[in-house]
Amino acid sequence: MRRYSYIVVAFIILIFGIIVVPRIVTRIQEADRVDTTRLSAQMPLAFIELNGEAKRVPDFVFTNQDNRLISNEDYLGKVYVVEFFFTTCPTICPIMNTNMKRLENAFGNRDDFGIASFTIDPEKDTPAQLKKYAENLDVFSQNWHFLTGNIENIYDLANKGFNIFAGINPAVAGGFEHQGYFALVDKNGYLRSRTDQFGNPIVYYLGISEDEIEVQGTDMLLEDVRKLLENE
Amino acid sequence: MNKKINKTYNAVIIIVSILIPIIVAVLSRVRIPNIASLDMLPPIYAIINGATAILLVVAVMQIKRGNKRKHQILMKINIMLSFLFLIMYIAYHVTSDMAIYGGVGISRSIYYFILASHIILSGILVPLVLFTYKHAAVGQYDKHRKLAKITFPIWFYVAVTGVVVYLMISPYYN
């Protein structure tokens, strides 16, 4: 029998190899993939470039819920998150502001963090209405401003300044159309974001997504805000 | 030996050698729609290929030691294994979309070189095996030995590359 043991050994190696080697190869390839996402999580956040220039938030001046004028300069030196919403919005805004609340809970006590929530329905959303809304949300941060003003200026800022679509559409619930995006702005007023696996900036975070780092939701935004606060 | 019978054998071998590659080529292009893929087959026939490679070496060692009987049995097993491989190969390819090798660079060239040489040599292998077998079956051992010196390395190469091709393509099976 001993004379044939090498044949048995050869067969065992063969069967083992054919079953196991492809799994090892697949595992190694998947490990590479995981590493690239980890890498993008560790890399500094990208600037959003438009025509070769890093996109900066344009100048704006609006009125906040305390009837104070707030401009982009008030946010200089602060990392801030921008959203477009309206107080009577029945659909996505409640989810967006629940997520925004998570950001406030995490960073709301810091002077170098802020939130800018622009209303896209300034006719109804007067400073008084915004004040009520903020109180309902238990907003405590000194730097979370709910901003209202001239409707054209707001839509210009949304569509040209941030490229976040906002428009009047009586056909949709609430009468206004907008995207549930959050934009991230650094201390110098530049739009920033993480990059995807191809190295392109994801540009926006999904304000309506609760978590799931993979789908650029609030968990990812929390990480990236922290990165900007701590590293820059 | 009866010359007439010999000629008949030769004719049968030649016809079979031409038919098998044609049948395989035609059937592997056929794709039966809406059928569950027999995707458990590739690892099985890869193992069969590897088993053939091992048993070929054992069979050669046996005849070198003079164990004619064991050599015969092993070679018959090898022919059956190769036939089994052929059946499974066709069964897999009529039920599944062909996997495309996703590697790049040098590994891609190596893969396609091995695959092409594997396919071409396996076509040549059919008549080689059948003639070698026939020579032994009719007792023409001189001819058998001479031809086996060509058949064995080619068969061994085809069997081993069958495993190699499987290992290289397996990460790209869906």
> What does the H/E/C string look like for A57-97?
CCCCEEECCCCCEEEHHHHCCCEEEEEEECCCCCCCHHHHH
Report yes or no: A128 at the B interface, CB cutoff 8 Å: no
Return the pLDDT at B14: 94
Predicted confidence (pLDDT) at residue A169 exceeds the cutoff of 80: no
Domain A46-231: CATH class, spelled out: alpha beta
Task: Reply yes or no on whether the pLDDT at A127 is more than 90.
Answer: yes
Residue A131 has pLDDT above 90, yes or no: yes
Residue A164 in contact with residue A185, Cβ under 8 Å? no
Nearest CA among B55, B54, B46, B31 for reference residue B118? B46
CA B3 to chain A, closest CA, distance in angstroms equals 41
Torsion of CA A201, A206, A207, A213, to 10 degrees: -90
- Please give the interface size between A and B, counted as residue pairs whose CB atoms are below 8 Å apart: 34
Q: Tell me whether strands A53-54 and A176-178 are parallel, antiparallel or unpaired.
A: unpaired
Among A8, A18, A24, the strongest candidate for a mutation testing the B interface, having the largest count of B CBs within 10 A, is: A18
Structural domain of residue B137, as residue ranges? 3-172
Is there a contact between B167 and A22 if contact means CB atoms under 8 Å apart? Answer: yes
The number of residues making up chain A comes to 232
Residues of B in contact with A7 (CB under 8 A): 54, 58
* In the predicted structure, residue A214 carries a pLDDT above the cut 60: no
Residue of A nearest to B163 (CA): A18
CA distance A171 to B72: 84
Interface of B with A (CB under 8 A): 43, 46-47, 50-51, 54, 58, 163, 166-167, 170-171
Beta bridge partners of A169: none
Token match 């040599």: residue? B121
Note the helical H segments in chain B. Answer: 3-27, 41-64, 68-95, 106-137, 141-169
List the single residue in B with minimal CA-CA distance to A7: B54
Tell me how many domains chain B contains: 1
Q: What is the mean pLDDT of residues A149-162?
A: 88
Q: Report the percent of chain B where pLDDT is more than 70.
A: 98
Using 50, 70 and 90 to split pLDDT, how confident is the model at B162? very high
Does the ipTM surpass 0.85?
A: no
- Identify whether the C-beta of residue A121 lies closer than 8 Å to the C-beta of residue A166: no
Q: Where are the alpha helices (DSSP H) in A119-210?
A: 127-136, 151-156
Rounded Cα gap, residues B139 and B136, in angstroms: 5
Q: Which pTM was predicted?
A: 0.53
Contact A17 B170 (CB under 8 A): no
Give mean pLDDT, residues B28-56: 86
Alpha helices per DSSP H over A78-217: 93-107, 127-136, 151-156
Q: Do A18 and B51 touch (CB under 8 A)?
A: no
Tell me the pLDDT band of A210, cut-offs 50, 70 and 90.
low
CATH of the domain at B34: 1.20.120
* Nearest CB to B50 within list A18, A25, A29: A18
| Of A223, A62, A228, A74, nearest in space to A157 by CA | A62
**Taking 90 as the threshold, does the pLDDT of residue A180 lie above it?**
no
pLDDT category of residue A173 using cuts at 50, 70 and 90:
low
Taking only the tens place, the pLDDT of each residue in A143-152 is 999 999 998 9
Could you tell me which of A154, A96, A69, A94 has the C-alpha nearest to residue A120? A154
Q: Which helix (H) or strand (E) holds A49?
A: strand A49-50
Cβ <8 Å between A14 and B43: no
Q: Is the pLDDT of residue B1 over 60?
A: no
Interface test with A, best of B44, B47, B48, B168 (most A CBs within 10 A): B47
User: Is the CB of A140 inside 8 Å of chain B's CB atoms?
Assistant: no
Q: In chain A, whose CA is at the least distance from the CA of B165? A: A18
Pairing, β A176-178 against β A166-168: antiparallel
Q: Band of the pLDDT at A170, cuts 50, 70, 90?
A: low
- Asked if A76 is an interface residue toward chain B (Cβ–Cβ < 8 A), one would say no
Q: Which of B55, B111, B170, B174 to mutate to test the interface with A (most CBs of A within 10 A)?
A: B170
Q: Which residues pair with A115 in a beta bridge?
A: A81, A144
For A69-111, the pLDDT digits (tens) are 999 999 999 999 999 888 988 878 888 888 899 999 999 999 9
Residue A34 has pLDDT above 60, yes or no: no
* Mean pLDDT, range B100-105, rounded to an integer: 77
Report whether A61 contacts A149 (CB < 8 A). Answer: yes
Q: Would the CB atoms of B170 and A25 count as touching at under 8 Å?
A: yes
Tokens encoding A205: 């975070």
Distances (CA, A) of A65 to A68, A135, A146, A161: 7, 10, 6, 22
Q: How far apart are CA A103 and CA A80, in angstroms?
A: 10
Contact A15 B47 (CB under 8 A): yes
Beta-carbon-side half-sphere exposure of residue B144 (alpha carbons within 13 Å): 15
| A170 touches A177 (CB < 8 A) | no
Contact residues on chain B for A19, CB-CB shorter than 8 A? 43
A29 at interface of B, judged by CB pairs closer than 8 A: yes
Please give the pLDDT value at position A171. Answer: 64
Which residues in chain B touch residue A29, judged by CB atoms under 8 angstroms apart? 171
What are B106's two structure tokens?
A: 């040098």
Indicate the domain borders of chain A: 2-42, 46-231
- What local confidence, expressed as pLDDT, does residue B172 receive? 77
Task: Determine the pLDDT at residue A55.
Answer: 87
User: pLDDT band at residue A167, thresholds of 50, 70 and 90?
Assistant: low
